[in-house]
Amino acid sequence: MDYSRLLSDEHKAIRHAVDVLNAMTARAERNEQVDIHDVNALLMFLHYFGDVCHQAKEETILFPALQSSEGFASSFEPGALLTGHNEERALIEQTQLTLFTDNHSEFVANARRLIKVLSEHLTKEETVVFPLAEQILTREKAIEIGYRMEEADANFGYTQRKLLLDLLQQLADKYIRKAA
């Protein structure tokens, strides 16, 4: 599979999760019933799919390939992107912790911040990093990256990946379609 299509497809799934979290958070802001176990399941999706599956491939495969590419090494510094990934990890954890407390407003604030940070980070990768990678990486390097990403998915587990995507769809059906 083409690495850029794989990453873009994963971004679509993460954006879908952000939409679900947004719907859940909006309900919480209106003091409507939201099952905290559903919110926790969505946050687990973001952790496992967004971080352990997706961001791991960016951090261990794509970013190092970009740094080592001729003509790109001096212009690509993954520090800001890695900082963004770390901020997302911390926000997922903070949101999860506040979910199980009585501090409703702190949960909402963390969830809103997580939505904002994830959305901005995805946009930055889609508008800056991915197009730049398409221009800079050789065809051979792009094919190698694609193979390495497929291997990473196999190591993560295709069944686990499918279960996570099915979970996301169940939550979307429950929270987005009802809100529409």
What does the domain layout of the chain look like in residue ranges?
A: 3-179
Exposed (0-12), middle (13-18) or buried (19+): which is 75, by Cβ within 10 Å? exposed
Say yes or no to pLDDT of 104 above 70. Answer: yes
Indicate the fold that domain 3-179 takes in CATH.
Four Helix Bundle (Hemerythrin (Met), subunit A) (1.20.120)
Model pTM score:
0.93
Q: How far is 68 from 6, CA to CA, in rounded Å?
A: 21
Cβ neighbours for 2, distance < 8 A, ≥ 6 positions apart: 142, 146
Cβ pair 135, 71 in contact under 8 A: no
Say yes or no to pLDDT of 76 above 60. Answer: yes
For tokens 């990486």, name the residue: 137
Confidence band of 180 (pLDDT split at 50, 70, 90): very low
Say yes or no to pLDDT of 25 above 60. Answer: yes
Q: How far is 180 from 150, CA to CA, in rounded Å?
A: 36
Confidence band of 74 (pLDDT split at 50, 70, 90): low
Phi and psi (nearest 5°) for 54?
-75, -60
Lowest mean pLDDT among 30-34, 66-70, 81-85: 66-70
What is the four-CA torsion angle of 76, 79, 80, 81, rounded to 10 degrees? 80
The predicted-structure confidence for 124-178, as pLDDT tens digits, reads as follows: 999 988 998 998 899 999 999 999 999 999 999 999 999 999 999 999 999 996 5
Amino acid (1-letter code) at residue 124: K
The predicted-structure confidence for 42-62, as pLDDT tens digits, reads as follows: 999 999 999 999 999 999 999
